[in-house]
Amino acid sequence: YERLGVPVEMVDRIRVRELVPGMRVDDLRGGRFCERDGYGDPLAALAGLGAAARLAGAHLVEGAAATALLREGDRVIGVRTAHGDVRSERVLVATGCWTAALCATAAVGVPIWAYRRSIMESGPLPALMKIPLVVEWESGFHFRPKERVQRFAMPNLTADGRVEKGPATPPAAYPAAFEPLEVPPSLEPWVRARAAWRHPAFADLRIVDAWSCYYEMTPDDHPVVGAVPGVRGLYLAAGFSGHGFMHSPAIAQLVVEEMLDGKARTLDIRDLSLERFITGRRPFTATVL
């Protein structure tokens, strides 16, 4: 963190308790805290980026599914959409957990699959309106205020009730089947118990809303970014494995550099290439929250 100038502090449990008054800390060694961290609204951010792109001259077409990539030999020549073909010298595929299916239309294998995760929201808890986002690293359970309510994210549970922070194994083939988007019934009692253990303000926790959506996993929990080996003009930016919102400004900058200049200049992103899954190279330690 110091090398990159990010003001993250290691904090002891006394400081943790000052940051989140009343929270149980007797099972902690300490924590990490960055006072410049925060949270953003992804849909508002997307609307803002879309508006900025339009102002800069981009032509955005919504509601038009890309049904296939158009490939001629070793190069991509465009995209087939429900509204007709679009010819292009370069195509960036940034379709989240749907990327494997789209890339398969150009005979490009991409190991990205959908992994269901859930979110819950409490009734009003005004006493906790000012606390920072709290993450239990070992379980992946986390909570933060959203105005007067608390929003919880949690790991999945295995059939025998164990915590599963990420998928146990990748699927056998891609594109893989999608699990239905239903919140597993075992999660709410687990969240209520875990929350009550962590903070007495959650003793009578009332969950008023819950929903599931998909993480876009790769086998090493890191995204696939950059030029696709062997298919000129085809680029990927997908598979952020549940961390893509915060990475999106940097990834956009880097992938555009690679598309326009042939190589990302701001950072070396070669380790993020699809090449690692073709050759079996493993530059990253898998980690998911």
Ligand X SMILES: Cc1cc2nc3c(=O)[nH]c(=O)nc-3n(C[C@H](O)[C@H](O)[C@H](O)COP(=O)(O)OP(=O)(O)OC[C@H]3O[C@@H](n4cnc5c(N)ncnc54)[C@H](O)[C@@H]3O)c2cc1C
* Closer residue to ligand X, CB minimum distance, 25 or 106: 106
Residue with tokens 């988007």: 181
Return the closest-CA partner of residue 150 out of 74, 39, 254: 39
Token digits of residue 241: 């494995």
**Residue 245: CB minimum distance to ligand X, A:** 3
d(CA 71, CA 50): 28
At closest approach, how far in Å is the CB of 246 from ligand X? 4
C-beta closer to ligand X: residue 69 or 125: 69
Residues that bind ligand X (CB under 6 A): 65-66, 94-96, 98, 102, 117, 119, 153, 213-216, 238, 240, 242-246
DSSP3 helix / strand / coil % (the chain, rounded to 5): 25, 25, 45
Please tell me the distance from the alpha carbon of residue 236 to that of residue 225, in angstroms, as a whole number.
Answer: 5
**Residue among 221 and 264 whose Cβ is closer to ligand X:** 221
Question: Smallest distance, Å, CB 247 to ligand X?
Answer: 6
Beta-carbon contacts of 183 under 8 Å, excluding residues fewer than 6 positions away, are: 118, 120, 210, 211, 212
Q: Which is nearer to ligand X, 24 or 170 (CB)?
A: 170
Nearer to ligand X, 226 or 244 (CB): 244
Q: How far is CA 198 from CA 27, 28, 76, 115, 205, in A?
A: 10, 11, 52, 26, 12
